[in-house]
Amino acid sequence: MGSLETARVADLLSDTLTAPTAGMRAAVAAAEVGDDVFGEDPTVRALEEEVAGLLGHEAGLFCPTGSLANQLGLRLHVPPGGELLADQLAHVVRAELGAAAVFSGITSRTWASVAGRLRAEAPISMLQLGVGPYQVETRLVVVENTHNFGGGTIQPLEEIDRLRSATRPLGVAMHLDGARLWNAHVATGVSLAAYGRLFDTVSVCLSKGLGAPVGSVLVGSAAAMAEARVWRKRYGAGMRQAGILAAGGLYAVRHHLDRLAEDHDRARRYASAVAEVAPVVDPTTVETNIVMLDTTPTRFSPAEFAAALGERGIRVYPADATRVRAVWHLDVDDTATDGAIAATREVLAG
Ligand SMILES: Cc1ncc(COP(=O)(O)O)c(C=O)c1O
């Protein structure tokens, strides 16, 4: 049977797949709205204020996507011809289609990491300042927490702190790609503000594990957000009655944050059950809602492994030359997780 006719057992492709819950739909339907380009949408303003407060920052800016929130953040800190430093697997360098270079004239240099985990020494050793007209000046360091392509990796607070201590006296800014910062917060108990305050700007996504259909928020100082607001409009993303969208995000922040722990538990349970039959994953490395399976010890390539699971109703993502990614979210319950375990064990036994 082809994958199109196969009944879907679990969709682990991405945590962006979630459908709005009934409560979220009701909140969207009831949203008070106004024209946000004129700053008159009360729901957008409430979301911006609430998220900025949670992250320990002065102001927020609602954006349609995480990529835009990141790109607005980057351009605030780096003038054309300046550079940012990021981990080699970071979303801003791997998956935003060169936007920093295309729109902002930013060059990027990357450091190598294991599973995307931040070791402060790596970016610290790359900082370049006062190099006159000969070399590119470092203006920004980007940290991703949790780390998507690293496999949901949580960044150690003390490493971020060490990096901040090194960058601050040099005037080098720091941006946090916190698309899944919610997961790091729920997994560690470290407050969102404790993470947020170590950065000049932070982007968070409402449309990933939190389950909103659309939206991200960029936070920073009031002056920085005023500037980002101008650029958001210039990029064509000034939205009008955007409270319809922001209401879903506000509902997500208020109702879907704590439940992320369930996604983490299920991801770990899946990894443990799969590791019992083949050494494709070390369950102790599963920190949040993402499981990376290493296909090297199997007879499958990542694409073949994903196809074999697809035939059994499980959708996963071939992440690179050796790994397949499975992501837990609001729409993957215990039954779906059991189904994913059974199918994966069957493929590995075959
Ligand atoms: C770490 C990270 N940052 C940013 C983004 C971008 O979000 P969006 O798809 O809303 O542009 C993603 C999307 O998957 C992501 O995983």
pLDDT in tens, 288-341: 999 999 999 999 999 999 999 999 999 999 999 999 999 999 999 999 999 999
Closest residue by CA, ligand 1 atom 8: 66
Give residue 237's pLDDT. 98
Å from CA of 94 to ligand 1 middle = 11
CA distance linking residue 266 with residue 335, whole number of Å: 10
Q: pLDDT-based confidence at 266, cuts 50/70/90?
A: very high
How many residues in total does the chain contain?
Answer: 350
Å from CA of 217 to ligand 1 middle = 12
Q: How much is the pTM?
A: 0.97
Average pLDDT, the chain: 97
Which residues, in sequence order, are CB contacts of 103 under 8 Å at separation 6+? 71, 75, 235
Å from CA of 249 to ligand 1 middle = 15
Phi (first) and psi of residue 273, to 5 degrees: -70, -35
Give residue 179's pLDDT. 98
Cβ–ligand 1 distance for 211 under 6 Å, the answer: no
Q: pLDDT-based confidence at 2, cuts 50/70/90?
A: very low
Q: pLDDT-based confidence at 199, cuts 50/70/90?
A: very high
Å from CA of 312 to ligand 1 middle = 28
Closest CA to 302 of 283, 285, 329, 321: 321
Cβ–ligand 1 distance for 177 under 6 Å, the answer: yes
Closest CA to 166 of 108, 106, 123: 123
Residue in 15, 65, 67, 94 to alter for ligand 1 test, most ligand atoms within 8 A of Cβ = 67
Give residue 7's pLDDT. 85
41 to each of 34, 46, 47, 171, 255, how far by Cα in Å?
4, 9, 10, 35, 22
Report whether 202 contacts 178 (CB < 8 A).
yes
3-state helix/strand/coil string of the chain: CCCCCCCCCEECCCCCCCCCCHHHHHHHHCCCCCCHHHCCCHHHHHHHHHHHHHCCCCEEEEECCHHHHHHHHHHHHCCCCCEEEEECCCHHHHCCCCHHHHHHCCEEEEECCCCCCCCCHHHHHHCCCCCCCCCCCEEEEEEECCECCCCCECCCHHHHHHHHHHHHHHCCEEEEEECCHHHHHHHHCCCHHHHHCCCCEEEEECCCCCCCCCCEEEEECHHHHHHHHHHHHHCCCCCCCCHHHHHHHHHHHHHCCCCHHHHHHHHHHHHHHHHCCCCCCCHHHCCCCEEEEECCCCCCCHHHHHHHHHCCCEECEECCCCEEEEECCCCCCHHHHHHHHHHHHHHHHC
Report whether 95 contacts 150 (CB < 8 A).
no
> Does the pLDDT at position 86 exceed 80?
yes
- Report, as an integer, the average pLDDT of 248-257: 98
Residue in 91, 103, 143, 325 to alter for ligand 1 test, most ligand atoms within 8 A of Cβ = 91
Cβ–ligand 1 distance for 287 under 6 Å, the answer: no
Q: pLDDT-based confidence at 5, cuts 50/70/90?
A: low
> Does the pLDDT at position 4 exceed 80?
no
Q: What pLDDT digit, counting tens, does each position of 46-55 carry?
A: 999 999 999 9
CA distance linking residue 272 with residue 77, whole number of Å: 42
> Does the pLDDT at position 3 exceed 70?
no
Cβ–ligand 1 distance for 262 under 6 Å, the answer: no
Percent of the chain beyond pLDDT 90? 97
Å from CA of 341 to ligand 1 middle = 27
Give residue 217's pLDDT. 98
Å from CA of 143 to ligand 1 middle = 13
Residue in 94, 148, 207, 329 to alter for ligand 1 test, most ligand atoms within 8 A of Cβ = 148
Report whether 201 contacts 176 (CB < 8 A).
yes
> Does the pLDDT at position 231 exceed 70?
yes
266 by Cβ neighbours in 10 Å (0-12 / 13-18 / 19+) ranks as: buried
Å from CA of 98 to ligand 1 middle = 14
Which residues, in sequence order, are CB contacts of 98 under 8 Å at separation 6+? none
Give residue 350's pLDDT. 83
- Report, as an integer, the average pLDDT of 197-201: 98
Percent of the chain beyond pLDDT 70? 99
Cβ–ligand 1 distance for 87 under 6 Å, the answer: no
Å from CA of 67 to ligand 1 middle = 6
Give residue 174's pLDDT. 99
> Does the pLDDT at position 90 exceed 80?
yes
Cis peptide before 146 (omega within 30 of 0): yes
Cβ–ligand 1 distance for 67 under 6 Å, the answer: yes
Give residue 131's pLDDT. 92
Q: pLDDT-based confidence at 17, cuts 50/70/90?
A: very high
Angle (deg, nearest 10), helices 243-255 and 22-29 = 140
Strands 323-327 and 173-178: unpaired
Q: What pLDDT digit, counting tens, does each position of 117-133 carry?
A: 999 999 999 999 999 88
Q: What pLDDT digit, counting tens, does each position of 136-180 carry?
A: 999 999 999 999 999 999 999 999 999 999 999 999 999 999 999
> Does the pLDDT at position 253 exceed 60?
yes
Closest residue by CA, ligand 1 atom 7: 66
Give residue 153's pLDDT. 98
Cβ–ligand 1 distance for 205 under 6 Å, the answer: yes
Å from CA of 71 to ligand 1 middle = 11
